[in-house]
Structure 1
Amino acid sequence: MSHLTTPVGATRAPTGAAPLGLGAPGFGHPLLATAEWAELLRCPPGTLHWAVLNVSDGPGARPDPYCLPAAARLRETGVRVLGHLDLRRGARPYAELVSDAHRYLEWYKVDGFWLDRAPTGPVHLPATRRTTATLRALSDGGHLVLGHGSHPYPGYAECADQLVTFAGRWADYRWSQVAEWTADHPPQRFCHLVHSVPRTHLEEALRIARWQGAGTVYVTDRRATGAAGAVGDAWESLPGYWDACVSRIGTGVSE
């Protein structure tokens, strides 16, 4: 069933509560991805909701001299910088996560955390709730994004500011369905990440995001080249149509 069809008994996801914005989920290290980080600084105010800082699969073993100034420059524009923490689908030890969070906060002054590979099932909900409560306290109410990649058990909506309810390829996204329970929440609670989107389908992809009630999106023509199910490398470089994407964000592409 396509995104344009609402199942019987379902409610269309809420739209219009806030403009659609961009999230940058995984650009490379600022030393290697200088063009990407520079482009983020050029985004019009309010267009970019947040950018993820991943120093070395986390904060690294010591402060990185290139990451602190890159994060600081972006924060000066009013954009949140989120530290990357890998939950490993619920298998990451709590103590490791807290230790990495402390380093991110001390070394890079992050505004919150991107919790990659977040679990989706109810069995991991109590542990995730404990982790996010701790991270929120450590970061003084920082912004938390749970990177599920698909619709999780509804209880996860209580744990974070945003849930990534889609992360994958355009061929799947264009026929995807939104979970009915998401209609109980405003668009700013959800994020969609879509790769392998042809330039000719950019506006359609943004229209789907709005229709399904996402408040933050990242759309790219880059393709995932990693192992099955690993899409992170698709976000490492700018899409070929970056300027076109930025210009269409917040403009309300017609339904």
Structure 2
Amino acid sequence: MKRLKTALAALALATAAPFAAAVEIVVPAYFYPSWMPSMNEWNQLTAAAGQGVQITAIMNPGNGPGTAPNSDYVASVDAFRAAGGKVLGYVYTCYGVSHCTPEVPPTRSTGDVLADAQKYADWYRVDGVFLDEMASQTGTLPFYKTVSDGLHASHPGWQIVGNPGTVPAAGYTAVTNTLMSFEGSFSDFVNGAFLGSVTNAAATGAIVYGVATVTQMQQVMGLAKQHGLGAIYVTDGTLDSGNPYLHLPSYWSAEVAAAAAVPEPASVALLLAGLAVVGAARRRSR
């Protein structure tokens, strides 16, 4: 009996060994939710959410919520959220200083941002907003503080995710829940200075495009977990295509698997050793 108790203690130690933490996938889902199931990539998001993987999708009907609710989006968003996924509404912010691209009006007020957020709330019952074209300088913080205060007042509990695409001034952590502080290529993510500059990893995310192979994707995921990032998106989409986010990556299923929590190699070895000890102890006790 003493040997068995010792073996059980070893097994308890093994099963308490650490697992590699899961990381949330934040998907720029800038693809249309077709009414044809075989053409609707939102169905793949829904399937992944149904597996228990943390998936947040950024919906973007037309550089924002559009001019009216869209029934295809309503159906897909509702199904995705019912499966456990979260949805953010895409809102561009012109870097807080009216530096917009030619495709949209050249100026953007805090009132415009809040009005778009309200449309998402009214039409799609989203879980928060994705503030794109976010500035990173201290001088534009008042713009984002006004937006953040307005969102919290109107929508308590919403998630606010900002996308400066680079590490911003320290004050930006106070106006968002998560900062996507990297948006760039595979080589820049792997070889650049971003990972070494992260100070609040759990509230930091990265969007990595041009990741050509499954092996490269797994390398990015491994680094994201190693550094404790709270959010990640990896795609083989490229800037050469015009928009890297018009489709899910070709290795989407593998990315979902890589994002899930898995035992550390040392933990697996310890668990197997513990099970072997228990088995041996039981044989001896007979």
Q: Does 1:27 align with 2:37?
A: no
Larger Rg belongs to: 2
What is the alpha-carbon distance in structure 2 between the residues aligned to residue 56 and residue 32 of structure 1? 17
Q: Does 1:115 align with 2:131?
A: yes
Match of 1:241 among 236, 251, 264: 251
What is the alpha-carbon distance in structure 1 between the residues aligned to residue 240 and residue 131 of structure 2? 22
How many matched pairs? 234
Aligned to 1:36: 41
Alignment of 1:68-217 (within 5 A): 68-90=74-96, 91=98, 92-178=108-194, 182-183=198-199, 185-187=200-202, 189-199=203-213, 200-217=215-232
SS at match of 1:235: coil
Deviation at 1:41, TM superposition (A): 0.8
Q: Compared with structure 1, are the counterparts of its residues 252 and 122 closer, same or farther at alpha carbon in structure 2 (3 Å cutoff)?
A: farther
On the 8 A contact 1:40/1:48 being kept in 2, the answer is no
Deviation at 1:243, TM superposition (A): 1.1
Sequence identity (%): 26
What is the alpha-carbon distance in structure 1 between the residues aligned to residue 181 and residue 31 of structure 2? 23
SS at match of 1:155: helix
4+ aligned runs moved over 6 Å, structure 1: none
Instruction: In structure 1, list runs of 5 or more residues that go unmatched.
Output: 1-15, 228-232
Aligned to 1:230: none
What is the alpha-carbon distance in structure 1 between the residues aligned to residue 174 and residue 230 of structure 2? 17
Q: Please, what TM-score do these two structures have when normalized by structure 1?
A: 0.84
What is the alpha-carbon distance in structure 2 between the residues aligned to residue 107 and residue 86 of structure 1? 18
Letter of the 2:194 counterpart: V
Q: Compared with structure 1, are the counterparts of its residues 180 and 137 closer, same or farther at alpha carbon in structure 2 (3 Å cutoff)?
A: farther
On the 8 A contact 2:201/2:227 being kept in 1, the answer is no
Higher share of residues assigned helix: 2
The CA RMSD measured in Å over matched residues stands at 2.4
Letter of the 2:30 counterpart: F
Instruction: In structure 2, list runs of 5 or more residues that go unmatched.
Output: 1-18, 99-107, 266-286
**How big is each residue's C-alpha offset from its partner over 1:187-235, in whole Å with a ceiling of 9 and x where there is no partner?**
2x111110111213121111221233311111111111367xxxxx212
On the 8 A contact 2:34/2:40 being kept in 1, the answer is no
On the 8 A contact 1:80/1:111 being kept in 2, the answer is yes
Q: Compared with structure 1, are the counterparts of its residues 253 and 167 closer, same or farther at alpha carbon in structure 2 (3 Å cutoff)?
A: farther
Aligned to 2:58: 52
What is the alpha-carbon distance in structure 1 between the residues aligned to residue 175 and residue 90 of structure 2? 17
